Amino acid sequence: MIPSFWRKIRYRYNLTGTKCENCGRIYHPPRNICPECRRKSSITEVDLGDRGELLTYSIVHDAPESFKLQRPYVIGLIKLESGVVVTSQISCKPSELRIGMKVKAVFRKYGEDGEDGIIYYGTKFVPCEE
Amino acid sequence: MRKVAIIGVGMSRFGELWDKSFRDIVIEAGIEAIEDANLEGKEIEAMYIGNMSGGRFLSQEHISALIADYSGLASLNIPAIRVEAGDASGGVALKEAYISVASGIHDIVVAAGVEKVTDVGSAMEIMDSSIDQEWEAFHGATLASLYAMMARLHIHNYGSSEEDLAMISVKNHKNAVNNPKAQFRREIGIETVLNSPYVAEPLKVFDSAPISDGSAVVILASERVARKHTDTPVYINSVVQSSDYLAVQNREDILEMKAVKTATRKALKLAKCELKDIDVFEMHDSFTITELLLYENVGLAEKGRGHELVRDGRVEIDGEKPVNPSGGLKACGHAVGATGIRQIGEIVLQLRGDAGKRQVDAEKGMAVNIGGTGATAVVSILGR
Ligand SMILES: [Zn+2]
């Protein structure tokens, strides 16, 4: 987990995706090849913005070992203003959740490896009013 | 391409087989299939084995050679190939076995699926390895939670309910009562499902298939060779595999399973038939919402109307389009890599008239096996 975490760290800390200059499509996670253009792909990095709306969500009760302490937690699919959809945790009370609610990205802790191990950070979302 | 028939079917029991090893369960199914096909064993020219995670469940890789060896075929030095596509591994093994016979390379081959999960405590986490580890699992998503998000959206958009989903579990439990190989052979009421604890809201324990031990084996033969061994061959009219974006977030519409749609369309075309010609279905109910979405993506129901099939009883065993007469993954058991072959075994028994008390009247059947959240789909059409 550790090497793969560090390799992708800038995409976790900032909501950055890739844009295909050939067709204009934007993807997250970043890709080396555009699934529409393939050989004609022309990939550049693009900022995805930090605001979006909640497409759907679930409150997770049965969690893997590394997430057990956080149970229950909310996982959601968020459609960002750029049109890109990301999977992320939502930090809020379950009673606040509704499909279509506006959310914004914040920088939060995700977990750690063992008692004195590395702490993982990444993007979570919180409700925001327009 | 030659016509290919299934001439033998074998299955272990599905469930928590504490007293049996990986080798025991695959051999149990294999022996039953060889007896059913009326073979000695030495006629087998190759083996294709679906297995999701021998490495993580048992720390045993290289299971292809192991299974050929313990099947008593080591002295024949035949090729044995393990294939992996999450819980669609079995379906993909069937497809590879089919190609090897249809192409004329082999005359008789084994397509098997096997999984032994109860030797480890973290079976759920291993199942979760079929989702995108870097961009889904990293954030705490689980396989169940991804399906739960689909369920939430379906309920929100189309007015389906947790009760509709629960009724799919109730149906599959009812069907499993008459399946001697099934893990849970008892009827349950809707309250049992609705009162079970949440796994990932709105999905509950009883919306979720168990993770089981089990094995299933089918024996494929060319049409000419099949006739020598059986009077009741069941033909593989088509078997098609498709793929989709691995992570749910990258799909244009998360309630559309494009791999399933594509594989179904191609399988029907190759089998030269329409959906209305299919009399019985085995569908991948890893969660109740999975079965509901398969109704829609296979085309039994229009988009957003899958729950109407449940309410009308059309997918019950005595309904117009029976789905999962075996009890499905929920009640027959979900032995991961074995499931795709187990579904084929059920369709063969149904078409031969060997399904006992769960027999339906059928000329053609379809099996839909999917991996993870649907990034792999295998659709097979069998006929008499
Ligand atoms: Zn492009």
Percent of chain B past pLDDT 70, that is, above it, reads 100
Q: pLDDT by residue (tens digit) across A3-36?
A: 666 677 777 777 899 999 999 999 999 999 999 9
In this predicted structure, the answer to whether residue B233 has a pLDDT above a threshold of 70 is yes
Cα gap B270→B237, rounded to integer Å: 7
In this predicted structure, the answer to whether residue B188 has a pLDDT above a threshold of 70 is yes
Find the residue in A nearest to B126 (Cα). Answer: A64
Residues of chain B contacting A70 with CB distance shorter than 8 Å: 140
Cα gap A44→B196, rounded to integer Å: 48
| pLDDT (0 to 100) of residue A116 | 62
CB contact under 8 A, B152 and A59: no
Q: Comparing C-alpha atoms, which of B337, B353, B347 is closest to residue B367?
A: B347
Q: How many distinct helices (H) and strands (E) make up chain A?
A: 2, 8
Mean pLDDT, chain A, whole residue set: 89
Domain B4-122+212-234 falls in which CATH fold? Peroxisomal Thiolase; Chain A, domain 1 (3.40.47)
| pLDDT (0 to 100) of residue A33 | 95
Question: A46 CA to middle of ligand 1, Å?
Answer: 14
Predicted-assembly ipTM surpassing the 0.85 threshold:
yes
Q: pLDDT by residue (tens digit) across A22-73?
A: 999 999 999 999 999 999 999 999 999 999 999 999 999 999 998 999 999 9
| pLDDT (0 to 100) of residue A2 | 58
A–B: how many Cβ contacts below 8 A? 97
| pLDDT (0 to 100) of residue A120 | 79
CB contact under 8 A, B149 and A64: no
| Residue ranges covered by each domain of chain B | 4-122+212-234, 123-208+237-383
Partner residue facing B128 (CB), from A57, A58, A64:
A64
pLDDT tier at B308 (50, 70, 90 boundaries)? very high
Q: Virtual CA dihedral for B335, B340, B343, B348, nearest 10 degrees?
A: -130
Distance from CA of A67 to the nearest CA of B (A): 7
Q: Does B123-208+237-383 match B4-122+212-234 at the fold level?
A: yes
> In this complex, is the C-beta atom of B250 within 8 Å of any C-beta atom belonging to chain A?
yes
User: Candidates 3.40.50.1820, 3.40.430.10, 3.40.47.10, 3.40.140.10; correct CATH number of B123-208+237-383?
Assistant: 3.40.47.10
Domain A49-130 falls in which CATH fold? OB fold (Dihydrolipoamide Acetyltransferase, E2P) (2.40.50)
Q: Quick check: B106 and B98 in contact, CB under 8 A? A: no
CB contact under 8 A, A56 and B153: yes
Find the residue in B nearest to A8 (Cα). Answer: B134
In this predicted structure, the answer to whether residue B121 has a pLDDT above a threshold of 90 is no
Instruction: Judge if the upstream peptide bond of residue B202 is cis by omega within 30 degrees of 0.
Output: yes
| pLDDT (0 to 100) of residue B69 | 92
Which whole number is the average pLDDT over B230-247?
97
Distance from CA of A103 to the nearest CA of B (A): 16
3-state secondary structure of B82: strand
| Residue ranges covered by each domain of chain A | 13-48, 49-130
Percent of chain B past pLDDT 90, that is, above it, reads 95
Please indicate whether residue B122 or residue B384 has the higher confidence score (pLDDT): B384
